[in-house]
Amino acid sequence: MKISVVTPTIREDGLGIVKTCLDRQVFKDFEWLVVSPSWDHLWLIIDKDNYNHVPEPAKRDGDNYALNKAWNAAFRQAKGDLIVSIVDLLWFPPDVLEKLWNHYQTNPFSCIGGIGHQYNQVVNGKPETMVWRDPRMREQSFYEVSPMDYELCLASIPRKAILGVGGVEEEFDKYAALSEKEMCMRIVRLGYKFFIDQTIEYRAIKHDRLTKDWDERYQKGIVYFNECLKSIQEGKRLKLDHLVDSS
């Protein structure tokens, strides 16, 4: 298996557009791991042998969500050499997986992200009418970025890199966002670099935040993130044990 696509979600109605885009990919050697709370009607969407459901781990006391436990659950089951994160409610062109695999073949220490804007409606299966423009855009089409500018909306990370740092920190489930940034800061210490390829452009359907206290939890998360970052810089926090069962 060359690529494992991972999609943690609690929006089952946001998976149809992703599945349609995956079905159209010219690159075929991949699996799709969807992590969600229950199977329910998911079998109507995931109906192929290489499309798999992973049960979402339960929340713990004080958790905002189970996103990071879900990511780690997918990472533990992933078989592909390259992990590609694709969120729900996302449209992307048929050559995305091919481009990400080619980047990995050229430089196995590269992590590649795309550029994505937000749209407020879907017309004939494709998001239209832009309402937010990705601020990371530059004049050049390919450039290196800081892990702080790396988004897992649609992006690749070699499986060895994720295993090498022990996955994402599940403590961030108490907060909002920032967990992928912290993981990427640890991945950098292994010699990997992060890039944006603007020829990989995705379209996100704009949606409301799931919790009313998102901003409050984000601010608290910043404090925890800075504590983690200090430990990383001191060389004390490089590999976690969340993926100890992985091969």
Q: What is the pLDDT of residues 14-37, one digit of tens each?
A: 898 999 999 999 999 999 999 998
Characterize the bridge pairing of strands 3-8 and 110-123: unpaired
Residue-level pLDDT at 45: 67
Query: Token digits for 66?
Result: 């189970």
Structural Rg of the chain based on CA atoms: 17
Distance in angstroms (rounded) separating the CA atoms of residues 99 and 50 = 20
Residue-level pLDDT at 47: 62
Residue-level pLDDT at 41: 60
Residue-level pLDDT at 48: 59
**Distance in Å from the first CA to the final CA of the chain:** 14
Distance in angstroms (rounded) separating the CA atoms of residues 241 and 95 = 35
Q: Is 191 left (phi over 0), alpha (psi -120 to 50) or beta?
A: left
In total, the chain counts a number of residues equal to 247
Residue in this structure with the two tokens 């590999």, named with its chain if needed = 239
Residues of the chain with pLDDT under 50: 246-247
Query: What does the mean pLDDT of the chain come to?
Result: 93
Four-residue CA torsion sign, 104, 105, 109, 115: negative
The structure's pTM equals 0.94
Residue 119 one-letter amino acid: Y
